[in-house]
Structure 1
Amino acid sequence: MISFPTFCIIFTFLFIKIPSLKSQSSSPTQDISFSSRFLDSILQDYAFRSFSGHRTKTGIIYSGNVPSNLTGTSISALRLRSGSLRKRGYHKYKEFDIPVGILVNPYVERVILVYQNLGNWSNIYYPLPGYLYLSPVVGLLGYNAVNLTANRLPELDLRSSENPILIKFETLKVLPNGVVPKCVFFDLYGGVAFDLVLNGSVCSSVTQGHFGIVVEDRSRAPSPSPKRSRVPEYPIAGGRGGGGGGTKWKGWWVGGSVAGGVLLAAVLVAVVVWVRRINGRRRIGKMKDAAEGGVPLTLAAVGRAKVPVAMGTRTKPILENEYVS
C-alpha cells in the first residue's frame, strides 16, 4: 500500500504536469494570432515603401503596393505631426474619420498612420465562426515616423481622449432578412468586441485596431459571441509575432496556478497534521511504558484502608541556623 506522503508527492507532480500538456494543445490558436500580427508587420513594411521616390509631405496620403500573394489587399500611409493630430485630427482618411484629441503613447514628434483593407482576406486572417462579413476588415495602426525605411516596428498606442474615431463603410453586402448587423473590433492583443452599427454602416472606437461589420450566420448552429478581453489603459504594443494569441491560455494558466497553490497548501497542511498525530501517538505510548515500568509505591494503613505512600526523604533538611558556626 502507498503511504500517505508518497501519495501526496505523486498527486502534486501530476497536477503540475497537466498545465504543460494544456499549453501544447493551445498552439493552433497562437498560430492564427501570429499570422495576423505577422501580416501587420508585412503591410507596415510595404506601406512605408510608398514614401520612397517621393519628397514626403506631411498630411498627404500615399498608396502602397502589396506583394503578389496578398492580391486583393490595399494599403496606404499618412504622415502627421503628433501635435497636429491631437489638435486637428484628420477628416476622411479612407473609411476613418479621426477626431481631435488623439493621444499618442509613447509620444513621438511625427506619426505614420498605416491603413489596411484586407478585402477577400478578411475571413482568413480574422475568422469569426458563426458570423458572416458584410464589409471587409479595415485597420488603422500608428507607427513612429523617425525612420521611413524601418520595418517590423512596434505599434504606438493611439487613443481618443474626446470624441471616438468613426469608421464609415461605403458599401456593404446585401443584408439578410431578419438579422441585425454588428460592428466587430479586433485589438492588437487577440481581443474581440461587438458594438452597435450607427446609421446603418458606421462603427466607432476610442483606439486603433481592425474593424468590420458582421451578421450572425443563421444557416449554421448558433455559437456564443466571443467575449471582449480587457484592453490595458496604456498597452505595450508588440512587434512581429506579438499579439494576444495566448490571452486565453494565460488566463487559464493563472487560474490553474492559483488553484494549484491552494491545493498544494492543503496537501502540506494534511501532511503536517498526519506527522504530528503519529508523533503524538508515539509519545503517549512511551509514557504508558514508563508508567507501567516504574517503581510501585508502598502501601500504608490509614484507618481501615491501605493507601500508597511515597518513600521518606533521602536528604535530611538543614535549617538555616545550622550553617552558622
Structure 2
Amino acid sequence: MEHHKWWQLTTLLFVSIMFQSSLVKTNDIESLEDSLCKQVNKERENPITGLFYNISLPSNYTGIKARVVRLRTSSFYQRGINYSLFNIPPHIVPLPNRKRMAILFENFGNWSSHYFNVPNYTMVAPVFGFVAYTSSGNDFLDNEKMNLVIKGKPILINFHYVRVQEKNDTPICVKLSDNDGGILGFRSMTKDYACEAYGSGHYTLVVPISEESYIKSQSKRFTQWWIVGFVIGFVGLVILVLILVNLVKAAKRKKIKNLENNSENGEPFDTFWIGDTKLPLASMIRTQPVLEND
C-alpha cells in the first residue's frame, strides 16, 4: 500500500513537471483580468461614480497593482481622466455607447516579464495597462469591453520607473498583446519616458538586447533547461525503480501462489505463516530405533 502511494505521488510530480516545462507562457492575461473583474464585482456593490477602488489580489500575485473607477461616459468624453501615470484627454469616444463605463488600471510590476515577452529586447519599465468596460446596474464591471476611439490628442502614459543601463540606449514604446503576451507594435517616445497610446491595452518601454546580455540570457536559459531535464530524469529513474520493485514483488507473489496451489492438489501438508506469506509444513516422522541382537 505504501509503495502504491509513492507510485501515485511520483507519477503526479512527473506529469506536473512535464506540463509546466512544455509551456512557454502558463499565464493568460485575459483570464487574469476576468478574475479581477469578478473580484471587483464581489467586493464592491453600488460603487460611487468617480471614486477609485483598489482591487484585492491573492498573496501569490504580490507585486501586481490594480485599481478601478466608474465614470459617466458623457463626463469621460468631456473631461477625460488623469490617474497616476495615465493622462487620458477629453473627446475620446467609448464604444459601444453606454450611460456608464469603468476603467481598469494595471501595473504588473515584477510580474511584467512573467506575462509578457518581447524577443530580442529587454523591458526597462513595468508593463502598464488600462482596459475600459461597460458598467450597468449594480455590477461594477460588465464582461463587455469598450473600444476607445481617439479623434484628437492621444493618451499619454508616463513611465517613472525606467532601468536603462547604457547611456546610449534610447527606450522604445511597445504595445503588447493580451492573447499571448507578444508584440503588437513599436513607437518612438514623444518625450522622455512617455508613450502615446491610441487605444486601451498594455504598454512598456524596451531597449534592444546587447550581445553580452543575449549571451547571458541564453546561458541562463540553458541552465534552467538543464535543471528541468535533470529533475525529469531523476523522477523518471525513481518511477522506473518503483516499477521494477513492483514487478519483482508481483512475480514473487505469483510463485508462492503456484506453490500453494500445488500443495493443495498433492499430498496434504500442514501450513504455517511467516508475515503475510503462507508456507507448507511437513510433519516430522522420526525413525524408530531398532535393537540388534549380538
Q: Do both proteins adopt the same fold according to a TM-score greater than 0.5, normalized to the shorter chain? A: yes
Out of 166, 171, 184, the residue aligned to residue 176 of structure 1 is: 166
The alignment status of 1:202 with 2:202, answered yes or no, reads: no
Tell me the SS of whatever aligns to 1:112. strand
- Following superposition, the deviation at residue 147 of structure 1 comes to 4.3
Distance, in Å, in 1 between the alignment partners of 2:27 and 2:59 is 21
Distance, in Å, in 2 between the alignment partners of 1:149 and 1:59 is 15
- Following superposition, the deviation at residue 56 of structure 1 comes to 2.6
**2:143 corresponds to which letter in structure 1?**
L
For residues 100-127 of structure 1, the C-alpha deviation after alignment (integer angstroms, 9 at most, x for no partner) is 1111111111000001111111111111
Which consecutive residues of structure 2, in runs of 5 or more, have no partner in the other structure?
1-21, 216-294
For residues 9-68 of structure 1, the C-alpha deviation after alignment (integer angstroms, 9 at most, x for no partner) is xxxxxxxxxxxxxxxxxxx89x8497122122122223444534xx63221211121122
Distance, in Å, in 2 between the alignment partners of 1:140 and 1:88 is 17
**1:72 corresponds to which letter in structure 2?**
G
Distance, in Å, in 2 between the alignment partners of 1:41 and 1:117 is 16
Structure 2 residue aligned with 1:213? 205
Identity, in percent, stands at 27
> 1:50, 1:63 within 8 Å by CA — same for their partners in 2?
no
**2:89 corresponds to which letter in structure 1?**
P
The alignment status of 1:156 with 2:146, answered yes or no, reads: yes
> 1:45, 1:150 within 8 Å by CA — same for their partners in 2?
no
Out of 34, 37, 44, the residue aligned to residue 41 of structure 1 is: 34
The count of aligned residue pairs is 190
For residues 224-270 of structure 1, the C-alpha deviation after alignment (integer angstroms, 9 at most, x for no partner) is xxxxxxxxxxxxxxxxxxxxxxxxxxxxxxxxxxxxxxxxxxxxxxx
The two structures, once aligned, show a CA RMSD in angstroms of 2.4
Structure 2 residue aligned with 1:237? none
Which consecutive residues of structure 1, in runs of 5 or more, have no partner in the other structure?
1-27, 222-325
Residues 101 and 188 (structure 1), Cα distance of their counterparts in 2 relative to 1, 3 Å cut: farther
> 2:40, 2:141 within 8 Å by CA — same for their partners in 1?
no
For residues 64-116 of structure 1, the C-alpha deviation after alignment (integer angstroms, 9 at most, x for no partner) is 2112221110000111111111111012x121101011111111110000011
Out of 97, 113, 121, the residue aligned to residue 111 of structure 2 is: 121
Residues 197 and 126 (structure 1), Cα distance of their counterparts in 2 relative to 1, 3 Å cut: same
Residues 187 and 153 (structure 1), Cα distance of their counterparts in 2 relative to 1, 3 Å cut: same
Tell me the SS of whatever aligns to 1:45. helix
Out of 99, 106, 127, the residue aligned to residue 96 of structure 2 is: 106
Residues 33 and 94 (structure 1), Cα distance of their counterparts in 2 relative to 1, 3 Å cut: farther
> 2:89, 2:155 within 8 Å by CA — same for their partners in 1?
yes
Distance, in Å, in 2 between the alignment partners of 1:148 and 1:119 is 31
TM-score relative to the length of structure 2: 0.59
Structure 1 residue aligned with 2:53? 62
Residues 189 and 127 (structure 1), Cα distance of their counterparts in 2 relative to 1, 3 Å cut: closer
**1:63 corresponds to which letter in structure 2?**
N
Distance, in Å, in 2 between the alignment partners of 1:82 and 1:124 is 34
Out of 134, 138, 141, the residue aligned to residue 144 of structure 1 is: 134
Residues 51 and 104 (structure 1), Cα distance of their counterparts in 2 relative to 1, 3 Å cut: same
Structure 2 residue aligned with 1:193? 185
Tell me the SS of whatever aligns to 1:43. helix
> 2:87, 2:156 within 8 Å by CA — same for their partners in 1?
yes
Distance, in Å, in 2 between the alignment partners of 1:154 and 1:99 is 23
Distance, in Å, in 1 between the alignment partners of 2:71 and 2:158 is 21
For residues 161-206 of structure 1, the C-alpha deviation after alignment (integer angstroms, 9 at most, x for no partner) is 2110000112212342322210111254665111112321100111
Distance, in Å, in 2 between the alignment partners of 1:200 and 1:117 is 20
> 1:41, 1:151 within 8 Å by CA — same for their partners in 2?
no
Runs of at least 4 residues of structure 1 off by over 3 A? 31-34, 47-50, 147-152, 187-191
**2:37 corresponds to which letter in structure 1?**
Q
Distance, in Å, in 1 between the alignment partners of 2:179 and 2:198 is 16
Tell me the SS of whatever aligns to 2:49. coil
